[in-house]
């Protein structure tokens, strides 16, 4: 099972053609994911993508790797179960803002305080695309949609601030209009030992006529270009997490390499992955349990 | 004098140690070679209210409790008030003499008031009023003239090692003092006695949840995840306590949705996985259950029932979720449902559930309830045959990704996760090997595992047939566990499932000794079944009376739906209290009049 020396885009080509609309921001994410695998020399059998439901969650079928297209909002706990059973595998969750910031919000909150070594890419288009244009948890206040004809009256979720507050150890934001930069963030997230959130601005060219490629291009700037910005500074990250309007930061907001991962703290995983461990336990050991009850 | 055949009941407020005292006394009696059956009743509160613990003792194995009580240990006045009517004539009521108890009214009921200076003994001899429970249990032993050394052993086990022997010594001094005093005062008045059986083997005192825990460990389950919910929590706790020793991953998740999804994720990686919950939590799992069905992922779910709807009666018992478990989940997909009836069955069928799940690559639901989960019985050690479980392990068409040679050989001509086969079962190679790189989906998928974007009718038919036909094979090869108990030529058959086993079996004994000819037909296996065969079994019975812990006789409906046979009458109980032999016998007479 040795990794091939070189990996090309061709090695990661799936036989399935994407069904996304022309110009969809998801193409940039697909491209970035493949680039990250090449950059890290990760062969297809050593990676698994867990997705939710939505346009972007079709991604596992479009990259040659292992995949699991699950339920709306549920890939996060599914990925944790898999990771605990097979911790040699690079585990990536790819889902949408409706998945993890909406219906699966509770799972998202709790994965962050556990810090398993899972990379979480959230395709954040601020709209519900596959159900044809309803507002999303990240839609800006006043956003007009089929279910908010007079504009939303809710404030949007701030994923970066929530992730920082919840104890995420790697918090980043990318833009699918800049797949090279995004690939680099994804690769960094995959290399990070612990939970890595990569929120991705991903324009929906059909339903979101507000947050377009141009809208983002006019506003986004890279944190690494900010003189003196140190992603180890939680207070600075908190400040940048709330910057929204004329200028919107992308890049790595925060990283903390000190926090142990969930897997490291579980005695059963100290020797080898769970799936490789022999079952059942020795009969003599089981017999010993009877003494508890006599 | 009646030897070794009585029921002792302890009652008091939550927090007074009713359960721990009852459990300790039950263990002491079991160690003396006697068979016990212990059942508890408690409220959804941590302090106050009213709890009780009831221990039935006999020289033969017991499967249920009885309603009549012989000795009542009252930790508070309410216990005397609430339970005196359950005592038989000549029964004793033991209580601290500081409680306000109307002795004359007890005497008027032909009961023996047995006030004892329990608090005084605890404080003066032990130096701690907390030792009052020890005094109470020892006094009860004195009244029954039960060898105190068995109680002393349990005290040593409980206090000796953990808190230093000094506390154990003081408890033992309290016990001896209370024992002698109670014996002197009341033993000559009390008819029921407990006498050790010389040379009896040491038996286990164990409840249903613990037996499920042993079955889970024996089956090689390595991932357990769930969210605490009565009455399933103690199973999660038991396994958490064994995690380090047995190399398990046990996770308390943020909710039951996450609990089952952790299991599906782990099972997808090739690990045996189990989640446990009660009805409310199972409701949350339902969407994911459907995902397990669609992706053909083997997971085991323990559904420990309690009465609903909604929060229902959180600390009571019921068998209300059978039709729910059978139909839970959107769409149609294969599953198996098992409902063990005894402690031994909890052990074996729990382990069996993992085999069925992996062999047929589908979810398996194991149903118990509060009564079975928490009632204790003394069971022979040999009844838990770990070696037999180890030999029976069947992982089905599974090759793990690190089994290099096997994978290479099996994938020589490629690999498709949902390959169409004659029996519907496809080779399962969890992700991790370069020859078996694939994606799966809850959405309808192709044999390769890709989402079928065209949603073609052709592929849909292929995949539905593939999945559903696994049930046919499962029904034929692996299902059909039922049991008759009692005379073959019975005039009346009591039809039951799951935890009703014990009470119905004991009812059969009582009814036959009263001159009736009654037997029991009990089902562990609920689905899938070979229904023609079940129909024939039912045809062999004369009058069939369904006995169930729910309002609508759900198992009876399930049988009718599948066999067209309809039981002649039904006995149902849905007040949250367990079925018991007396209740069944009384209800049967009424039911037979209606037939």
What is the rounded distance in angstroms from the CA atom of residue B353 to the CA atom of residue B300? 7
Q: Averaged over A63-74, what is the pLDDT? A: 98
Q: Which of A68, A75, A276 to mutate to test the interface with B (most CBs of B within 10 A)?
A: A68
- pLDDT tens digits, residue range A204-254? 999 999 999 999 999 999 999 999 999 999 999 999 999 999 999 999 999
Segment B56-81 shows an average pLDDT of 97
The count of structural domains within chain A is: 1
Q: What CATH code would you report for B2-200?
A: 3.40.920.10
A85:B390 CB<8 A: no
Residue B440 touches chain A, beta carbons under 8 Å = yes
How many beta-carbon pairs under 8 angstroms link A with B? 206
Domain residue spans in chain B?
2-200, 206-392, 404-477, 482-594
Q: What is the 3-state secondary structure (H, E, C) of B167-214?
A: HHHHHHHHHHHHHHHHHHHHHHHCCEECCCCCCCCCEEEEEHHHHHHH
> Average pLDDT for residues B552-576, to the nearest whole number?
97
- Report the SS3 class of residue A84: helix
Q: Is B253 in Cβ contact with A110 (below 8 Å)?
A: yes
Contact list, B384 vs chain A (CB under 8 Å)? 290
pLDDT at A266 exceeding the cut of 60: yes
Residue A139 falls inside a structural domain? yes
What percentage of chain B exceeds 90 in pLDDT? 96
Tell whether the model's pLDDT for residue A2 goes beyond 90: no
By the CB < 8 Å criterion, does B124 face chain A? no
A282: in domain: yes
The per-residue pLDDT for A1 is: 47
Per-residue model confidence (pLDDT) at position A34 = 97
Give me the pLDDT at residue A78, please: 98
What is the CB neighbour count within 10 angstroms for residue B180?
14
Contacting residues of B for A277, CB less than 8 Å apart? 222, 247
CA atoms within 13 A on the CB side of B268: 36
Q: Which CATH superfamily is domain B206-392 in?
A: Thiamin diphosphate (ThDP)-binding fold, Pyr/PP domains (3.40.50.970)
Assign B163 a pLDDT band (cuts: 50, 70, 90): low
Percent of chain A exceeding pLDDT 90 equals 98
Range of the domain at A31: 9-292
At A4 the pLDDT is: 52
Contact assessment for residue B468 and residue A95, using Cβ atoms and an 8 Å cutoff:
no
**CA of B184 vs chain A CAs: smallest distance (Å):** 31
Alpha-carbon distance of B264 to B270, in angstroms, equals 10
Q: Are the Cβ atoms of B450 and A289 closer than 8 angstroms?
A: no
Task: Identify the three-state secondary structure at position A179.
Answer: helix
Q: Which of A24-33, B159-168, B527-536 has the lowest mean pLDDT?
A: B159-168
CATH number, domain of A17, equals: 3.40.50.970
Interchain proximity A280–B218, CB inside 8 Å: yes
The B residues from 289 to 318 touching A (CB cutoff 8 Å) are: 291, 295
Q: Do A86 and B432 touch (CB under 8 A)?
A: yes
At residue B116 the predicted structure's pLDDT band, cuts being 50, 70 and 90, is very high
The Cα–Cα gap between A253 and A232 comes to: 8
What average pLDDT does this structure show over B421-437? Answer: 98
Question: What confidence score (pLDDT) does residue A290 get?
Answer: 97
For B370-419, how does the pLDDT look when each residue is reduced to its tens digit (9 = 90+)? 999 999 999 999 999 999 999 999 999 999 999 999 999 999 999 999 99
Best to test chain B binding among A280, A282, A287, A291 (most B CBs inside 10 Å): A280
Enumerate the β-bridge partners of residue B116.
B96
Minimal-distance CA residue of chain B relative to A44: B437
Q: How confident is the model at residue B293 (pLDDT cuts 50, 70, 90)?
A: very high
Q: What is the mean predicted confidence (pLDDT) over B483-501?
A: 97
Q: Does the beta-carbon distance from A86 to B430 stay under 8 Å?
A: yes
Which pair of tokens denotes residue B164?
């230093």
CB B548 within 8 A of CB B319: yes
Please provide the average confidence, as pLDDT, over all residues in chain B. 96
The answer to whether the CB of B334 falls within 8 A of the CB of B360 is: yes
**pLDDT value of position A110:** 98
Nearest-CB residue to A89 (from B223, B271, B432): B432
- In this prediction, residue B219 carries a pLDDT of 98
pLDDT category at B165 given cuts 50, 70, 90 is confident
State the best of B29, B153, B208, B268 to mutate against chain A, taking most chain A CBs within 10 Å. B268
| ipTM rounded to 2 decimals | 0.97
Residues 6+ apart with CB under 8 A from B368: B208, B209, B212, B302, B303, B304, B305, B339, B340, B346, B498, B499
Side-chain-side CA neighbours of B196 within 13 Å: the count stands at 16
pLDDT for the residue A5: 57
CB neighbour class for B590 (10 Å; exposed up to 12, middle 13-18, buried from 19): exposed
Do A82 and B442 count as a contact with CB atoms less than 8 A apart? no
Is the predicted pLDDT of residue B6 greater than 50, yes or no? yes
For the segment B440-459, the average pLDDT, to the nearest whole number, is 97
Cβ-Cβ contacts under 8 Å, B418 against chain A:
none
- In chain B, residues 190-209 whose CB comes closer than 8 Å to chain A: 202-206
Say which of A65, A69, A281 has its CB closest to residue B437.
A65
* Residue B511 CB coordination number (10 Å): 22
For B249, the closest of A19, A109, A266 (CB atoms) is: A266
Nearest by Cα to B482 from B522, B429, B427, B430 = B522
C-beta separation of A91 from A117 below 8 A: yes
Q: What is the pLDDT of residue B42?
A: 86
Q: Given pLDDT bands bounded at 50, 70 and 90, which one contains residue B529?
A: very high
Check CB contact under 8 Å for B439 and A89: no
The two domains B206-392 and B482-594 share their CATH topology (first three levels equal):
yes
DSSP three-state, residue B519: strand
Question: What pLDDT, on the 0 to 100 scale, is given for residue B164?
Answer: 62
- Quick check: A78 and B264 CB within 8 A? yes
Distance CA B325, CA B337 (A): 8
Taking Cα atoms as reference points, which of B493, B472, B508 lies closest to residue B543? B493
Give the contacts of B16 (CB within 8 A, at least 6 positions apart): B51, B75, B76, B133
Nearest chain B Cα distance for residue A24, angstroms: 18
Confidence at residue B44, expressed as pLDDT on a 0 to 100 scale? 83
Find out if CATH 3.40.50.920 is the number for domain B482-594.
Answer: yes
The yes-or-no verdict on residue B213 having pLDDT over 60 is yes
Q: Looking at CA atoms only, how far is residue A62 from chain B in angstroms?
A: 9
Contact call for residues B471 and B334 (beta carbons, < 8 A)? yes
Interchain CB distance below 8 Å, B430 and A107: no
The pLDDT score that the predictor gives to residue A33 is: 97
State whether residue A188 is helix, strand or coil.
helix
Per-residue pLDDT averaged across B279-294, rounded? 98
Q: Say yes or no: B401 contacts chain A, CB-CB below 8 A.
A: yes
- The length of chain B is 595
With CB atoms and an 8 Å threshold, state whether B434 touches A44: yes
């Amino acid at each position: 099972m040795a990794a091939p020396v070189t990996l090309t885009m061709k090695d990661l080509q799936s036989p399935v053609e994407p069904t996304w609309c022309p110009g969809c921001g998801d193409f940039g994410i697909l491209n970035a994911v493949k680039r990250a695998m090449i950059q890290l020399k990760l062969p297809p059998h050593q990676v698994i993508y867990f997705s939710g439901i939505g346009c972007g969650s079709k991604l596992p079928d479009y990259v040659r790797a292992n995949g699991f297209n699950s339920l709306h909002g549920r890939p996060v706990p599914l990925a944790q179960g898999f990771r605990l059973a097979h911790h040699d595998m690079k585990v990536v969750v790819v889902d949408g803002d409706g998945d993890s910031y909406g219906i699966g919000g509770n799972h998202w909150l709790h994965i962050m305080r556990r810090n398993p070594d899972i990379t979480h890419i959230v395709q954040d288009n601020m709209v519900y695309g596959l159900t044809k244009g309803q507002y999303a948890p990240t839609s800006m206040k006043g956003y007009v949609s089929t279910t908010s004809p007079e504009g939303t009256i809710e404030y949007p979720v701030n994923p970066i601030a929530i992730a920082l507050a919840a104890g995420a150890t790697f918090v980043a934001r990318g833009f699918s209009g800049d797949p090279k930069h995004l690939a680099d963030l994804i690769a960094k997230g995959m290399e990070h030992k612990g939970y890595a959130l990569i929120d991705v601005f991903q324009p929906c060219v059909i339903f979101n006529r507000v947050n377009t490629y141009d809208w983002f291009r006019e506003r986004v700037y890279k944190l690494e270009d900010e003189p003196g910005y140190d992603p180890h500074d939680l207070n600075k990250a908190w400040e940048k997490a709330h910057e929204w309007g004329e200028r919107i930061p992308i890049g790595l907001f925060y990283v903390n390499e000190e926090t142990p991962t969930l897997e490291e703290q579980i005695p059963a995983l100290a020797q080898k992955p769970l799936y490789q461990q022999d079952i059942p336990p020795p009969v003599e050991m089981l017999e010993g349990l009877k003494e508890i009850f006599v | 004098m009646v030897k070794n055949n009585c029921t002792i009941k302890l009652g008091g407020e939550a927090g007074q140690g009713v359960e721990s005292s009852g459990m300790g006394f039950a263990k002491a009696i079991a160690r003396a070679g006697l068979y016990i059956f212990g059942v508890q009743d408690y409220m959804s509160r941590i302090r106050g209210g009213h709890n009780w613990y009831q221990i039935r003792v006999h020289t033969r194995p017991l499967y249920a409790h009885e309603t009549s009580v012989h000795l009542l240990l009252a930790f508070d006045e309410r216990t005397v008030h609430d339970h005196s009517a359950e005592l038989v004539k000549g029964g004793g009521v033991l209580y601290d003499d500081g409680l306000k108890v109307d002795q004359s009214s007890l005497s008027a009921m032909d009961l023996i008031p047995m006030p004892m200076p329990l608090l005084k003994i605890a404080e003066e001899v032990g130096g701690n009023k907390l030792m009052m429970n020890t005094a109470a249990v020892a006094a009860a032993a004195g009244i029954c003239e039960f060898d105190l050394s068995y109680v002393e052993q349990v005290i040593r086990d409980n206090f000796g090692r953990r808190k230093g022997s000094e506390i154990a010594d003081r408890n033992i001094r309290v016990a001896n003092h209370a024992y002698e005093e109670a014996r002197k005062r009341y033993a000559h008045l009390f008819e029921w006695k407990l006498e050790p059986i010389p040379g009896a083997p040491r038996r286990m005192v164990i409840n249903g949840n613990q037996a499920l825990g042993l079955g889970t460990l024996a089956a090689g389950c390595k991932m357990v995840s769930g969210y605490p919910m009565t009455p399933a929590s103690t199973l999660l706790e038991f396994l958490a306590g064994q995690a380090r020793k047995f190399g398990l991953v046990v996770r308390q998740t943020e909710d039951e949705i996450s609990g089952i999804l952790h299991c599906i994720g782990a099972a997808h990686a090739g690990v045996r996985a189990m989640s446990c919950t009660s009805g409310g939590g199972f409701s949350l799992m339902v969407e994911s259950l459907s995902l397990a069905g669609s992706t053909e992922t083997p997971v085991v779910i323990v559904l420990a029932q309690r009465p609903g709807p909604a929060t229902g009666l959180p600390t009571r018992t019921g068998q209300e979720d059978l039709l729910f478990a059978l139909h839970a989940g959107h769409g149609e997909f294969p599953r198996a449902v098992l409902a063990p009836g005894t402690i031994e069955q909890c052990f074996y069928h729990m382990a069996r559930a993992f085999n069925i799940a992996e062999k047929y690559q589908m979810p398996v639901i194991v149903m118990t309830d509060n009564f079975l989960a928490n009632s204790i019985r003394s069971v022979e050690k040999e009844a838990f045959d770990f070696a037999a479980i180890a030999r029976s392990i069947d992982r089905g068409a599974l090759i793990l990704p690190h089994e290099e040679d096997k994978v290479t050989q099996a994938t020589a001509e490629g690999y498709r996760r949902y390959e169409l086969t004659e029996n519907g079962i496809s080779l399962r190679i969890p992700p991790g090997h370069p020859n078996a790189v694939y994606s799966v989906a809850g959405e309808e998928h192709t044999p390769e595992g890709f989402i079928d974007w065209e949603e073609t009718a052709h592929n849909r038919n292929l995949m539905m047939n593939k999945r559903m036909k696994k049930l046919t094979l499962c029904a034929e090869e692996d299902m059909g566990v039922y049991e008759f108990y009692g005379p073959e030529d019975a005039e009346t058959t009591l039809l039951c499932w799951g935890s009703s086993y014990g009470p119905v079996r004991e009812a059969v004994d009582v009814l036959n000794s009263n001159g009736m000819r009654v037997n029991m037909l009990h089902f562990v296996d609920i689905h899938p079944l070979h229904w023609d065969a079940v129909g024939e079994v039912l045809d062999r019975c004369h009058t069939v009376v369904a006995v169930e812990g729910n309002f609508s006789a759900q198992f009876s409906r399930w049988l009718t739906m599948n066999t067209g046979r309809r039981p002649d009458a039904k006995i149902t109980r849905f007040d949250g209290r367990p079925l018991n032999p007396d209740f069944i016998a009384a209800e049967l007479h009424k039911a037979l009049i209606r037939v």
